[in-house]
Amino acid sequence: MFTKILIANRGEIACRVIATAQKMGIATVAVYSEADKNARHVQLADEAVCIGAAPSRESYLLADKIIAAAKQTGAQAIHPGYGFLSENEAFAQRCEDEGIAFIGPKAHSIAAMGDKIASKKLANEAKVNTIPGYNDAIAGPEQAVEIAKKIGYPVMIKASAGGGGKGLRVAFNDKEAFEGFASCQNEARNSFGDDRIFIEKFVQEPRHIEIQVLGDSFGNVIYLNERECSIQRRHQKVIEAAPSPFISDATRKAMGEQAVQLAKAVKYQSAGTVEFVVGKDQDFYFLEMNTRLQVEHPVTECITGLDLVELMIRVAAGEPLPLTQADVQRDGWAIECRINAEDPFRNFLPSTGRLVRFTPPQQSMFQADPSKKLGVRVDTGVYEGGEIPMYYDSMIAKLIVHGSDRNDAITKMRAALNGFVIRGISSNIPFQSALLAHPKFVSGDFNTGFIAEHYAHGFVAEDVPHEDPDFLVALAAYMHRRYRARACGISGQLAGHEVQVGEAFVVVTLGHEGRHQYHPVTVSDFEAQSGTSTVVIHGKSYKISSNAHLGSRRIQGACNGQGFTAQVERGTSKNPLGLRLAHNGTQVEALVLTPARAELFKLMPYKAPPDLSKFLLSPMPGLLVDVAVQPGQKVQAGEKLAVIEAMKMENILFAAQDGVVSKIVAGKGESLAVDDVILEFE
């Protein structure tokens, strides 16, 4: 067994590998870019080596620097994590040539399966059913359009070395095929250093179901059941689960056996994933093989009780698999939510900056310890006070729950999301909560088009209807009563003029453009010691109790005998005198006033925000890589104006209306903050 390994990655996956290595008594070496010098994985590792500047092409993609770091520290093996160099056959071969074990498959397996074009050809030769497409690298956008026409729209344009939603577009017409090819090529070149692109038929209403396989150097290969990964936004997975609520035991077995057959054909060693697209009649087609550990591996660990990272390390050290196919378990139901640094209410634009607050829900399951079950696990590479840089992926944590069945897992995940406190940057937690509450998700009736179908016009607060909106109003009144109780106890009050608190209040829920709602409530039976009150609103009674500290943003308690977890914040920039409450994905801004003050508040005029339609503002922090227009140019609504690169994705900004460009304010290559002016219109 190795005594020291180097992790050629960053973020949560680097921390995940370190956890298993520590359990096995193996010393760890972290590598980091200048932007990551204070990162969590650097702090957790036994040693750390700086390998270059912030952009990944100047650090985490530099094989020479990583090999040199391994030699310098005496690491006998390298775990590549996922992304970066994890599926780079030249890197795997280079490790082998240098006498360093690569904790992953052999270079020949990566060459055969990691390259999507080569893997499809091999699958065809092995008589595996594949989707129609053009499997050779494409010369340019003109050829891409011709090929797309022959296959028939819609088509999927895909980077050969792609992954994680990078270098992937769906085109429904010639214009989208032409522009999609160029964007995919740029993203692939920047993210993977390989700009080869191929095209295949886009199967509509498909499910994305993948099989986890595991092989050793003795020719043994097993499959560890499947993962359901159909909930995707722009081809990037959002929620993953194991097992799938869709496929039958017969289909599971057939897919598993086919995945094993494919892995054996390339003498596969280590953990890998065979991805399938599954039709509504449970017909399945080979999509690709990921020759690495997957982001969503924890859900498989939950239901099988196996530590996949440990098994990868043992196989790389020459050990045989410690179990056979008959030993593989399928226990309960696991769900993983990817918590990303993006703003769901601003079209999921990347959100970077400092994590002012980062308090995950309490964990009862842990990385590297699959013996703990039926609880909550958080895999993350960040910490409170740390920085979310713009150079890397937007994922800041993975929230994993394990339940006795699917409904239990959904209930646990909703409670865990309620208790996940993130401030300073935006996160997609409200969107995750909305998905988990959607009736079609709950019933298991969804495919990869689920998000595009149900959130076609983006995601707005109204998309998260609360099952009991009066509960949030009652909670606001309850919390206000507790704050007032504290104010009553302040010292130095003038005798006869002490703070008096009545029972009648009006909760004002603040609406868009001054459209507020007024809710008369009474708060009675207040007990300071137990923190209990009875709130009556619209004839309904809510008995709420909580012993949460008043400065805490996470409030856990009981309402009418049922437990709840919510978030309450006092004094926000939008509402400095009120409360912000969040529960089950619904967020409200509220003011709690006396009846007399509520009447006065109704008289307050609405102040409209300034008209910014004459400016193109940067919707996110990022690098301005292109300005597509000139001063004096007439533009039409929908025309491309500029391109901003952030978190390894290109974001194209389009004109919202017809107009004439009067002035270019920001130049190509500039770093922009949110709401920086890029150009002005006449």
382 phi-psi bin (left φ>0, alpha ψ -120 to 50, beta other) = beta
What is the separation, in whole angstroms, between the first and last Cα of the chain? 69
Element (H, E) at 130: none
Dihedral (CA of 367, 314, 51, 29) sign: positive
**CA atoms of 346 and 431, how far apart (whole Å):** 12
The H-assigned helical ranges of 521-619 are: 595-601
Cβ neighbours of 457 (radius 10 Å) = 7
Are the CB atoms for 22 and 368 separated by under 8 Å? Answer: yes
HSE, side-chain direction, 13 A CA sphere, residue 254: 14
Angle (CA) 437 511 503, round 5°: 90
CA 567, distance to chain mean position in Å, is: 21
CA-based nearest residue to 13, from 382, 424, 290, 306 = 382
Q: Which residues of 186-211 are buried (b: 16+ CB within 10 A; e: fewer)?
A: bbbbbbbebbbbbbbbbbeebbbbbb
Which residues make Cβ contacts (< 8 Å) with residue 92, sequence separation at least 6? 102, 104, 105, 106, 107, 110
Pairing of strands 554-559, 562-570: antiparallel
User: What amino acid is encoded at 409 in this protein?
Assistant: A
Burial of 673 (0-12, 13-18, 19+ CB in 10 A): exposed
CA distance linking residue 38 with residue 10, whole number of Å: 12
Report the SS3 class of residue 653: strand
Nearest-angstrom CA–CA distance, 114 and 81 = 14
Q: Distance of alpha carbon 527 from its chain centroid, rounded?
A: 41
**Burial of 92 per CB tally in 10 Å (0-12, 13-18, 19+):** buried
- Let me know if 288 is a catalytic residue: yes
- Which residue among the candidates 12, 226, 275, 288 is catalytic per the annotation? 288
Residue 218 is inside which H or E element, if any? none
Task: Establish whether the linkage from the previous residue to 243 is cis, with ω within 30° of 0.
Answer: yes
Q: What is the CA radius of gyration of the chain?
A: 27
- What is the C-alpha to C-alpha distance for residues 36 and 656, in angstroms, rounded to an integer? 37
Q: Which of 128, 130, 125, 117 is nearest to 161 (CA)?
A: 117
Beta carbons of 279 and 300 less than 8 angstroms apart: no
Could you give the strand order of the β-sheet that contains 634-635, starting from the edge strand earlier in sequence? 615-617, 677-681, 659-664, 634-635
Going by C-beta distance under 8 Å and a sequence separation of 6 or more, which residues neighbour residue 560? Answer: 541, 542, 543
Token pair 């039976």: residue: 525
> Mind telling me the catalytic residues?
288
